[in-house]
Amino acid sequence: MSHLAAPPIAATETRRPGSAERRAMILAVAHELFLDQGFEGTSMSEVAARLGGSKGTLYAYFDSKEALFEALITDNCARMSAQLFEGPEDTGLEQRLLAIARGYIRLVTSDMAVRMIQILAAEARRRPELGRMFYEAGPAVALDRLSAIVAAAIADGTLDADDPRLAAETLLSLARGKLHLKRMLGQIPEPDEATIDACARRAVAQFLRLCRPIAP
């Protein structure tokens, strides 16, 4: 009936039974199902079945369906940020812009991110903080990196713009293009690497035409 003894040491969360691997397994299954079928479209029984376990275990690790979902989103956002930081090169300005543009397009049109946006957008009314997590972990990260690069380029005269942040936004907007909206609405499949590259190159070229200082 009542808890007689408190657990010896509280872990990062409330007292929980099992191993971190088990938790990761649950999250992996949840990832697969939630991203495929959405939040409402996925039942906890389904998660348990796919896990090869029982609902009891599920609820031992996560207090509710919502809690599991939020943990999943948190997890995925962390993964996203990490992915965006891949391959920071020490090359010229154009190459660095290209790398970021490519990474940004790749991320933002990937099946995972698109599904996340689709689901988070649908839940935006009830849980805007999840949308915020996504934005901070994805687009905001790209924007920060890009702003820094642009600011440096403005400082040494390679670029010309009033506001580095606004300029960075311009490049990302050009990079997204219509790809993103069409992806969100399920009108096109995940673009291949060639398409991503073409979009990134076009965006960077346009950006440079906008922000290259006119030769004096």
* Least distance from DNA to the Cβ atom of residue 120, Å: 18
Phi, psi of 115 (to 5 degrees): -60, -40
Q: Does 13 bind DNA (CB under 7 A)?
A: no
The footprint of DNA on residues 15-74 (CB under 7 A) is 17-19, 22, 42-45, 48, 51-57, 59-61, 64-66
Query: What is the spatial distance between Cα 32 and Cα 47, in angstroms, rounded to a whole number?
Result: 9
Among DNA, a copy of itself, none, residue 64 binds (CB under 5-8 Å by kind):
DNA
Complex with DNA: residue 45 or 173, whichever CB lies closer: 45
Mapping DSSP onto H, E and C, the string for 131-157 reads HHHHHHHCHHHHHHHHHHHHHHHHHCC
Query: What is the spatial distance between Cα 198 and Cα 175, in angstroms, rounded to a whole number?
Result: 10
Query: What is the spatial distance between Cα 37 and Cα 16, in angstroms, rounded to a whole number?
Result: 28
Among a copy of itself, DNA, none, residue 53 binds (CB under 5-8 Å by kind):
DNA
Residues lying near DNA in the complex (CB under 7 A) are found at 17-19, 22, 42-45, 48, 51-57, 59-61, 64-66
